[in-house]
Amino acid sequence: MSWFFAALAAIGRPVTRGLGTLGRLAIFGGEALSHMLRPPFYFKEILQSLLSVGYFSLPVVGMTAIFTGGALALQIYSGGARFNAEAVVPQIVAIGMVRELGPVLVGLMIAARVTSSIAAEIATMKVTEQIDALVTLSTHPMKYLTVPRVLAGLIMVPLLVGIGDIIGILGGYVVGTKSLGFNPAAYLQNTVNFIEARDVISSLIKGAAFGFIATLLGCYHGIHTGRGAQGVGRATKSAVESAAILILAANFLLTSILFSL
Amino acid sequence: MIELKHVHKAFGSNKVLRGVNLTIESGTSMVVIGGSGTGKSICLKSILGLVSPDSGTITLDGKDVTNVRRSERDSFLARFGMLFQGGALFDSLPVWQNVAFRLLRGSLKRPKDEARTIAIEKLRRVGLKKEVADLFPAELSGGMQKRVGLARAIAAEPEIIFFDEPTTGLDPIMSGVINDLIREIVVEMGATAMTITHDMTSVRAIADNVAMLHDGVIQWTGPVAKMDESGDPYLEQFIHGSAEGPIESVR
């Protein structure tokens, strides 16, 4: 029988550990949000985070969106041809980018770019005692490190998603008009007519949620890093992995909520 | 006066502090010695509240500070300065902003120009030139980083200063310079100092009183002058650095 219990324990251990982490993460997120509303506010750090999360992510987001939009147009054109529906390219590119691919791909790129750098930076600060030094200098690490970054995620990632949506549609437009023979004016007209306000709003809501997840997980794993260079490496890896998975899970959840309303 | 009474702290099954009793009189310099991993840093961090002890009490001027309330934490910590082992300088900030960190935000906030002037003055105090102020920590040598850390620890003129292994990783000459600086600064400021180290040269240069931490308790404490005739086998083995004695050499 002992092998049976050993097998159960082997399943149970990671499950309880995972649930524990999820609980700690929820508390950490709640604390971050509550600190966001209470002074002191570190405006310089907030501004820096807005720049590094938002502005400096623009090239990556633009590249991701334009190639995805272009590829999407080609796929829909050739896929649609199987049932004589080549003409739907503008509509499907628009809906695909705005409702799904825009937020998800931008979210994942932010996880790769921002989550990793936040986790590595904070973890290094932790292992070199800089976090302890902050505390002894009467500065709350949550306020000084986490709040600016998470706030930047909440504000800037929806903007990036909006920009990504537009650039993605533009990618589809370029491919559609240059190589698939669509009429430029008709392509734009179709796109604009087809997109509804709720598509855009849901896209931005997803952006805010993914921005929150990406920055929060970077901070969380950074603060809870193990020792030494190995600890920093592991913290960064866990941060990106868990941010990506949570973004995809949240995407499913938000999609099912937002479009059932 | 800082007083630790029966302070215990364990990490899982590893009992680091097993009832530490230690008194540091105001205006004196206490040096805590002991081997690596004996809990010296934990002892220091529990006074600052970076680590909360499992049991026991820590008092500062008679007031229990074992678990300082969050609202009082800022003013409590404003009384302390700390030099970290690796310097723990913020590498995203230039040197002068590191030194003036406390003066640029929080309850001790000053105008930026004034904070910069104070930072440059403190840098001068630790033997660093004005030009260093605008460099970043990564551009400095280990000894210079330690000095910047020291300047940051004294920037807000704290009553109590902690030094965590101030000479570890430095060459003997730089160690001597740092030891002299610490002694001068502590005397000059009339501050209470607590240093942890395993460098016996440091001990003789910095200490008024010495305490030896081993196996989670203070094995011996007394004035530095009496250290050599203590008769305590642990302390003697440590001072002479011999492999033979009550302290196991393989840990």
Buried b (16+ CB within 10 A) or exposed e, B63-84: eebbebeeeeebebbbebbbbb
Compute the nearest-CA separation of A217 from chain B (Å).
21
Q: List, edge to edge, every strand of the sheet that includes B29-33.
A: B80-83, B160-164, B192-197, B29-33, B209-214, B217-223
Residue contact B77–A135, C-beta within 8 A: yes
pLDDT of residue A113: 96
Chosen for mutation from B101, B146, B164 (greatest number of chain A CBs closer than 10 Å) is: B101
> For residues B115 and B102, what is the distance between their CA atoms, to the nearest angstrom?
9
Hey, what are B22's tokens? 């230690």
Hey, what are B20's tokens? 């530490």
* Residue B180 in this model has a pLDDT that exceeds 70: yes
Residue B193 half-sphere exposure toward CB, CA atoms < 13 A = 34
Cα nearest neighbour of B47 on chain A: A136
Whose CA is closest to B212, among B25, B32, B72? Answer: B32
Contacts with B137 from chain A: Cβ below 8 Å: none
Residue B197, strand partner residues: B33
Cα nearest neighbour of A122 on chain B: B90
Whose CA is closest to B24, among B198, B219, B162? Answer: B162
* Residue B250 in this model has a pLDDT that exceeds 70: no
* Residue A103 in this model has a pLDDT that exceeds 90: yes
Residue contact A139–B101, C-beta within 8 A: yes
User: In percent, how much of chain B has pLDDT > 90?
Assistant: 33
Give the pLDDT band (50/70/90) at residue B35.
confident
* Residue A97 in this model has a pLDDT that exceeds 80: yes
Give the pLDDT band (50/70/90) at residue B143.
confident
> For residues A102 and A238, what is the distance between their CA atoms, to the nearest angstrom?
24
Residue contact A132–B89, C-beta within 8 A: no
Least confident of A52-56, A109-113, A235-239, B129-133: B129-133
Cβ-nearest to A133 among B49, B74, B88: B88
**DSSP-assigned letter for residue B107:** G
Give the pLDDT band (50/70/90) at residue B234.
confident
Chosen for mutation from B11, B76, B105, B196 (greatest number of chain A CBs closer than 10 Å) is: B105
Q: What pLDDT, in 10s, does the model give residues B37-81? A: 788 888 888 898 888 899 999 988 888 888 887 778 878 888 899
Compute the nearest-CA separation of A137 from chain B (Å).
6
Least confident of A178-187, A226-235, A245-254, B167-176: B167-176
Cβ-nearest to A135 among B50, B105, B108: B50
Average pLDDT over residues B210-223: 90
Chosen for mutation from A35, A38, A48, A138 (greatest number of chain B CBs closer than 10 Å) is: A138
> For residues B155 and B98, what is the distance between their CA atoms, to the nearest angstrom?
10
> For residues A161 and A167, what is the distance between their CA atoms, to the nearest angstrom?
10
Compute the nearest-CA separation of A250 from chain B (Å).
33
Residue contact B77–A128, C-beta within 8 A: no
Chain A within 8 Å of B73 (Cβ-Cβ)? yes
Average pLDDT over residues B90-107: 90
Residue contact A136–B80, C-beta within 8 A: yes
pLDDT of residue B245: 78
- DSSP code per residue over A42-94: -HHHHHHHIIIIIGGGHHHHHHHHHHHHHHHHHHHHHHHHTTT-GGGHHHHHH
Residue contact A133–B106, C-beta within 8 A: no
Helices (runs of H) and strands (runs of E) counted in chain A: 12, 0
Hey, what are B109's tokens? 């906030």
Average pLDDT over residues A199-216: 96
> For residues A139 and A148, what is the distance between their CA atoms, to the nearest angstrom?
14
- Average pLDDT over chain A reads 93
Q: CA dihedral defined by B119, B122, B127, B129, rounded to 10 degrees?
A: 20
Give the pLDDT band (50/70/90) at residue B251.
low
Average pLDDT over residues A132-139: 90
* Residue A248 in this model has a pLDDT that exceeds 90: yes
Compute the nearest-CA separation of B210 from chain A (Å).
24
pLDDT of residue A133: 93
Give the pLDDT band (50/70/90) at residue A24.
very high
Average pLDDT over residues B190-209: 90
Assembly ipTM: 0.86
pLDDT of residue B249: 66
For chain B, how many residues are written?
A: 251
94-123 of B, contacting A, C-beta below 8 A = 101-102, 105-108
- Average pLDDT over chain B reads 88
Residue contact A138–B78, C-beta within 8 A: yes
Residue contact B45–A137, C-beta within 8 A: no
Chain A within 8 Å of B90 (Cβ-Cβ)? yes
- Chain A: residues touching B (Cβ < 8 Å): 40, 42, 125, 128-130, 132-139
B2-11 vs B55-60, strand pairing mode:
antiparallel
B63-64 vs B80-83, strand pairing mode:
unpaired
Q: What pLDDT, in 10s, does the model give residues A160-200? A: 999 999 999 999 999 999 999 899 999 999 999 999 999 99
Inter-CA distances, A52 with A66, A115, A116, A157, A209, Å: 21, 11, 13, 11, 18
